[in-house]
Structure formats: C-alpha cells, structure tokens
C-alpha cells in the first residue's frame, strides 16, 4: 500500500503540468502538389491545411480565428511568415517579439515559405506554433515538420499536439510524459492488488 501511495503522490505532482494531447508519430509524407488537412483535436472539423508545391509550401487556417505563430519581417513589403521554430519555445497569448499571431482569412496567401531556398528548406523536425478554436475555446498547439532542401523537396508532417486547457499556452515539442502514465499504472495495479489481497484473506 505504501508503494501505491508514493506512486499516486508522484502522479498527482506530474498531473499538475499542462494536459497535452499528442497525435503520436505519424510521418505523413507529402510529395509535389499534395495537401493534407489536419484536425488537431479530432472533432471532425479540419483546423489547418498544409499544401506542398514545387515553388511554395503553403499553410492555411481552415477556420476563421485559427492562426499561426509567425515572425515579423523587418521589410514591410513582406507579410509575417510561420518560420521554423525549435522545441522549448512557449507559444501563448503573449508572443515574444518579433513573433505575432497571424492569419489573413481574406487572402490565403503563402504563410509558411518552404521552397528550395525558403525559410523551411532543410528544416529537420522543426515546429510551427498554431492556435485554433474548438467550439468557443481557444487552444494552443504545434505541428512538427521536416522539409528536404534537395529535389524533389519531399515534406514530412511528423506529428502534432495541443493543450486541452483553453487559453493555456504550450511549449513547442511538449508531449505527455510517459513517466506519468507509468506511475499511474503502477499505482493502480498496487491498489487493485491490495484490495484483492484484503478480500481474499484465508
């Protein structure tokens, strides 16, 4: 019983961290002229679309209110673009300069620049921060992508994740901790074993 209690204490402490839902490793490959719709929260409504073209790779928000974590360009002639980010960066409602939340629903032009010499060319397991509406709740997430800088510029969507708590930011690359589930299972088994032992004393 002591072991179970100790396990449950650790589970409780680990559970204080944000609640993340992760797609798991998918490794969806996109060749030229292919596109893929992403339903982050699996509610039957697609949230974002990635379209892989020869000259550009575009990212579209499929619902008004959905946005990308973008970098502002110094040159005002260029619009913000979702450049590759790396794990450990927090995306929330207060982006750190030069980042902004951006999407233009009236002009779905290129958001993620990823041609042979674009921002994403050669990106290896990089992240694109996103936020999206689930019913009336605003949720934060990320999409993990690689893009080959060499012809034919094959693209891979590795995985995605989102924070289930409305309005709570997510750290890029954050996934549910396996240790949390392991401790939970151990604690549950010990409790069940203890109950079984008490009910079957001879």
Domain ranges of the chain: 1-17+178-202, 20-176
pLDDT score for 81: 83
What is the overall mean pLDDT for the chain? Answer: 79
Token pair, residue 70, equals 């973008």
Express each pLDDT in 59-75 by its tens digit. 888 988 999 999 887 76
41 with 166: CB under 8 angstroms? no
The helix-helix angle for 2-14 and 178-199 (nearest 10°) equals 150
Please report where in the chains the tokens 């088994």 appear, as a residue.
Answer: 189
Q: Is the pLDDT of residue 151 over 50?
A: yes
Task: Mark 136-167 as b/e (b = at least 16 C-beta within 10 Å).
Answer: eeebbbbbbbbbeeeeebebbbbbbbbbeeee
Indicate the pTM of the whole model.
Answer: 0.77
Q: What is the mean pLDDT of residues 103-109?
A: 62
């Amino acid at each position: 019983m002591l072991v179970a209690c100790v396990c449950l204490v650790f589970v409780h402490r680990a559970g204080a961290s944000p609640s993340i839902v992760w797609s798991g490793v998918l490794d969806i490959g996109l060749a030229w002229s292919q596109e893929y719709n992403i339903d982050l929260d699996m509610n039957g409504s697609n949230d974002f679309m990635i379209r892989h073209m020869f000259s550009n790779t575009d990212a579209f928000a499929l619902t008004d209110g959905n946005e990308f974590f973008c970098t502002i360009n110094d040159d005002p002639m260029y619009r913000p673009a979702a450049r590759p980010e790396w794990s450990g960066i927090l995306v929330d409602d207060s982006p750190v300069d030069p980042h902004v939340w951006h999407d233009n629903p009236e002009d779905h032009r290129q958001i993620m620049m990823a041609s042979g010499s674009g921002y994403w060319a050669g990106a290896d397991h990089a992240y694109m921060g996103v936020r999206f509406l689930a019913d009336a709740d605003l949720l934060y997430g990320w999409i993990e992508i690689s893009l080959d800088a060499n012809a034919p510029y094959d693209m891979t969507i590795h995985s995605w994740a989102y924070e289930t708590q409305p309005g709570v930011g997510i750290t890029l690359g954050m996934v549910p901790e396996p240790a949390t589930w392991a401790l939970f299972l151990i604690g549950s088994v010990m409790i069940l074993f203890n109950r079984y032992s008490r009910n079957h004393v001879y």
